[in-house]
C-alpha cells in the first residue's frame, strides 16, 4: 500500500486530494503538521496560482494520517521526513495548481451553490443527517482555518473534478478486446524461489571492517540534549460530566475509531475527559512557565535524551531542534501532562568508532553481501535452468487471490504483475527479499467470459483515464512553470 502510494503520487494526486475531503467527512484526526512560518505566506507559485503554507499543512496532515494508518499508528516525524512526505504533499499541490491554471484558461467555473452543497454533504459536519454550523465552526477552530480558506479548498476540489471529467471517455470496443485479451492470457511456468537461506554465507570480519572504513562518515552517534523539565499534571483538574459532554459535542469530529467512524459520547467520554482536563490545565502550565523563567521552580527533572527519544513527542522534538542552548520552550502536551523544557546543552553527533558501529555495520554489510550473492546464484540457476528441480505451476492469470507457493498472496500478486508485464520468456523477478527464477513452458489465451465483461470495461476505463490524465499533466508541466520560495520541498 505504501509503495503504491509513493509510486503513483504524481499522477494520482487528484484522487488523493478528493480523498482528503472524504477523509474529513469520515472524521478528521489531526496527525502530523509541517510549519515553515506564517500560514498565510506563499511557499510557491505555479503559473498564476499561489500555493499557501496553510494548504501545504492541510495536505501534509492528510498524507501523514494515511501513512500512519497503513503503519498501524507507528509513524513519527523522523520517519515522515525519511519517506519524503513533505515533498509528496508539495508535489500534489504543484500538480493541482497546474490543473487549476488549466481550468481557468478553459473557463471552468464553480458556483457558490455548488460549494454549499459539497460542504453540506460532508458527514463530519452533520448532526442527525443535517449540516450543523456549530460542528463546522468547531472543526475550523481546531485546525486554525478560516471558513473562506476551507471553502476555497472545496472550490478547487470541484474545479479539478470538473476539469478531469472532460477527458473521461468511455472505452472503445477495440480497446475492450485488447485489454480483455491481455487479462485472459495465462502462463504455465517452471520456477524456483531463492532466499538467503539458500546461501552458504559466512560473515567476513575483514570485509565488515573494510565496509565500515568506506562508510564510516555514515555511522554517527545521535544528537543528544541535556534538558531541564518542569512537569505540570492535569489528572487532578476537576471537570463535570456536563462540561465533558459539551466539550465532546464541540469536538466530536476528533473522536473516531481505527476505520474513521465517529465515536459516540459514551465511547469517547474517557478521551474527551482527558482532553478537557488538559485544556483547563493550560493556565496552570503557563504559570509554571513564568515561574520557570524566574528560577522559582524547585521540582525540576534533569535528563539527557537522544534526539527523538519517545519520552517526548515528535512535535516537541521538532521545536527543540529549532532552539538553542538556554532557550525555554513554552508548555507542550506530553501524554496527559504539560512539559516546560529548558535546553541546558546540545551534544552534536560524532563518528562512531568501529567498535561502536560494529553491530550496525555488520548487519548492513551482510545484507548487501547476501543480496549480491543471491543475485549471482539466481543468474547461475537461470543459465543452467533445470526444470526437473523446479516447481511447475498451473496456468496462471493476472488476478488477485492467487497464491504461488511458497510466496504469500501479496508476494504472489507482485510476482504476477511483473511476470505479465515482462516480454521475457525466462528471467529473474525480485519480490520482497526473494528472487524467483522462472521459465514459461506454455501459454494460452482464453476468450472473455460474459461475467467478466464489466471487470474488463472498468479496468479499461481506469487505464485509459490514467493514461489521459498522466499525459495531460506532462503537457501542463511545460505550460505552467513552478517558482519555489522555500527549500526542502522538491528533490
**Tens of pLDDT, residues 320-373:** 999 999 999 999 999 999 999 999 999 999 999 999 999 999 999 999 999 999
DSSP string, 454-468: HHHHHHHHHHHHHHH
- Is residue 332 exposed (0-12), middle (13-18) or buried (19+ Cβ within 10 Å)? middle
The mean per-residue pLDDT over the stretch 417-440 comes to 91
pLDDT tier at 182 (50, 70, 90 boundaries)? Answer: low
pLDDT of amino acid 448: 60
pLDDT single digits (tens) 189-233: 999 999 999 999 999 999 999 999 999 888 999 999 999 999 999
Answer yes or no: is pLDDT of 305 > 70.
yes
The verdict on 153 and 251 lying in the same domain is no
Answer yes or no: is pLDDT of 14 > 70.
no
Least confident of 12-21, 69-78, 93-102, 284-293: 12-21
Residue 302 has which C-alpha cell? 534533569
In a domain, residue 79? The reply is yes
The verdict on 341 and 361 lying in the same domain is no
- Is residue 236 exposed (0-12), middle (13-18) or buried (19+ Cβ within 10 Å)? exposed
Check the CA dihedral 477-157-172-182 and report its sign: positive
pLDDT single digits (tens) 118-173: 999 888 888 888 898 888 888 888 777 788 888 988 999 999 999 988 888 788 88
The mean per-residue pLDDT over the stretch 269-286 comes to 93
The verdict on 242 and 343 lying in the same domain is yes
Give start and end residues of each alpha helix (H) in 224-294.
241-250, 265-280, 282-293
CB 366 within 8 A of CB 159: no
Element (H, E) at 78: helix 77-83
Give the 3-state secondary structure of residue 305: strand
Instruction: Report how many domains make up the chain.
Output: 3
> What are φ and ψ of residue 229, in 5° steps?
-125, 130
pLDDT single digits (tens) 309-327: 999 998 899 999 999 999 9
In a domain, residue 6? The reply is yes
User: What is this structure's pTM?
Assistant: 0.51
DSSP string, 126-170: EETTEE-HHHHHHHHHHHT--HHHHHHHHHHHHHHHHHHHTT--P
Q: How far is CA 424 from CA 106, 376, 397, in A?
A: 45, 19, 16
The verdict on 337 and 359 lying in the same domain is no
- Spatial neighbors of 373 by CB under 8 A, at least 6 apart, are 199, 201
CB 136 within 8 A of CB 119: yes
Which of 283, 312, 347 delimits the end of a domain?
347
The verdict on 230 and 318 lying in the same domain is yes
The verdict on 293 and 364 lying in the same domain is no
Element (H, E) at 442: strand 434-445
Least confident of 32-41, 69-78, 189-198, 438-447: 32-41
The mean per-residue pLDDT over the stretch 278-286 comes to 93
CB 308 within 8 A of CB 78: yes
In a domain, residue 179? The reply is no
pLDDT tier at 41 (50, 70, 90 boundaries)? Answer: confident
CB 349 within 8 A of CB 220: yes
Q: What is the CATH number of the domain that holds 7?
A: 1.10.4030.10
Percent of all residues in the chain with a pLDDT value above 90, rounded to a whole number: 49
Nearest to 443 by CA among 461, 425, 468, 429: 425
pLDDT tier at 181 (50, 70, 90 boundaries)? Answer: low
The verdict on 229 and 86 lying in the same domain is no
pLDDT single digits (tens) 457-480: 777 788 888 888 888 888 999 999
In a domain, residue 8? The reply is yes
How far apart are alpha carbons 487 and 353 in whole angstroms?
Answer: 33
In a domain, residue 32? The reply is yes
How far apart are alpha carbons 369 and 374 in whole angstroms?
Answer: 9
The verdict on 25 and 155 lying in the same domain is yes
pLDDT tier at 108 (50, 70, 90 boundaries)? Answer: very high
Answer yes or no: is pLDDT of 27 > 80.
no
The verdict on 193 and 338 lying in the same domain is no
pLDDT tier at 447 (50, 70, 90 boundaries)? Answer: low
The mean per-residue pLDDT over the stretch 47-60 comes to 86
The verdict on 35 and 97 lying in the same domain is yes
pLDDT of amino acid 345: 96
DSSP state of 390: S
The verdict on 258 and 144 lying in the same domain is no
**Residue with C-alpha cell 502536551?**
333
Q: What range defines the domain where residue 361 resides?
A: 185-209+354-445
pLDDT of amino acid 450: 60
Give the 3-state secondary structure of residue 304: strand
Higher per-residue confidence, 124 vs 258? 124
How far apart are alpha carbons 251 and 245 in whole angstroms?
Answer: 10
Which of 288, 312, 347 delimits the end of a domain?
347
Angle in degrees, CA 45, 49, 51, rounded to 5: 55
Amino acid at each position: 500500500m505504501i509503495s503504491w502510494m509513493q509510486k503513483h503520487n504524481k499522477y494520482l494526486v487528484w484522487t488523493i486530494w478528493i480523498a482528503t475531503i472524504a477523509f474529513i467527512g469520515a472524521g478528521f484526526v489531526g496527525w502530523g503538521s509541517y510549519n515553515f512560518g506564517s500560514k498565510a505566506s506563499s511557499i510557491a507559485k505555479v503559473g498564476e496560482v499561489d500555493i499557501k503554507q496553510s494548504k501545504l499543512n492541510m495536505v501534509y496532515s492528510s498524507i501523514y494520517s494515511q501513512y500512519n494508518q497503513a503503519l498501524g499508528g507507528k509513524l513519527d516525524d523522523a520517519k515522515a521526513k525519511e519517506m519524503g512526505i513533505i515533498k509528496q504533499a508539495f508535489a500534489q499541490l504543484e500538480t493541482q495548481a497546474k490543473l487549476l491554471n488549466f481550468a481557468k484558461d478553459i473557463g471552468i467555473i464553480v458556483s457558490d451553490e455548488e460549494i454549499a452543497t459539497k460542504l453540506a454533504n460532508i458527514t463530519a459536519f452533520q448532526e442527525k443527517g443535517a449540516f450543523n454550523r456549530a460542528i463546522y465552526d468547531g472543526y475550523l477552530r481546531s485546525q486554525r482555518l478560516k471558513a473562506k480558506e476551507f471553502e476555497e479548498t472545496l472550490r478547487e476540489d470541484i474545479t479539478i473534478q470538473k476539469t478531469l471529467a472532460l477527458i473521461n471517455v468511455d472505452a472503445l470496443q477495440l480497446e475492450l478486446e485488447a485489454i480483455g485479451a491481455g487479462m485472459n492470457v495465462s502462463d504455465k511456468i517452471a520456477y524456483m524461489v531463492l532466499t538467503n537461506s539458500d546461501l552458504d554465507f559466512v560473515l567476513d570480519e575483514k570485509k565488515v571492517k573494510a565496509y565500515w572504513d568506506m562508510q564510516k562518515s555514515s555511522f554517527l552517534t545521535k544528537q543528544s540534549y541535556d534538558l531541564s523539565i518542569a512537569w505540570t499534571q492535569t489528572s487532578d483538574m476537576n471537570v463535570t460530566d456536563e462540561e465533558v459532554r459539551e466539550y465532546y459535542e464541540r469536538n466530536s469530529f476528533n473522536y473516531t475509531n481505527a476505520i474513521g467512524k465517529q465515536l459516540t459520547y459514551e465511547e469517547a467520554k474517557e478521551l474527551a475527559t482527558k482532553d478537557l482536563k488538559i485544556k483547563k490545565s493550560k493556565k496552570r502550565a503557563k504559570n509554571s512557565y513564568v515561574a520557570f523563567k524566574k528560577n522559582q521552580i524547585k521540582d525540576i527533572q534533569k535528563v539527557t535524551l537522544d534526539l527523538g527519544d519517545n519520552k517526548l513527542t515528535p512535535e516537541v522534538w521538532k521545536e527543540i531542534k529549532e532552539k538553542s542552548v538556554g532557550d525555554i520552550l513554552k508548555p507542550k502536551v506530553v501524554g496527559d501532562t504539560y512539559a516546560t523544557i529548558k535546553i541546558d546543552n546540545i551534544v552534536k553527533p560524532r563518528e562512531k568508532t568501529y567498535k561502536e558501529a560494529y553491530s550496525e555495520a555488520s548487519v548492513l554489510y551482510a545484507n548487501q553481501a547476501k543480496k549480491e550473492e543471491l543475485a549471482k546464484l539466481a543468474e547461475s540457476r537461470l543459465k543452467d535452468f533445470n526444470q526437473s528441480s523446479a516447481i511447475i505451476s498451473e496456468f496462471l492469470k493476472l488476478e488477485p487471490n492467487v497464491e504461488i507457493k511458497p510466496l504469500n498472496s501479496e508476494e504472489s500478486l507482485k510476482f504476477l504483475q511483473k511476470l505479465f508485464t515482462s516480454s521475457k520468456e525466462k528471467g529473474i523477478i525480485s519480490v520482497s527479499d526473494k528472487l524467483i527464477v522462472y521459465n514459461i513452458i506454455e501459454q494460452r489465451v482464453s476468450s472473455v467470459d460474459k461475467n467478466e465483461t464489466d471487470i474488463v470495461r472498468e479496468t479499461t476505463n481506469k487505464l485509459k483515464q490514467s493514461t489521459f490524465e498522466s499525459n495531460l499533466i506532462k503537457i501542463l508541466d511545460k505550460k505552467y512553470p513552478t517558482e519555489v520560495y522555500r527549500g526542502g520541498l522538491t528533490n
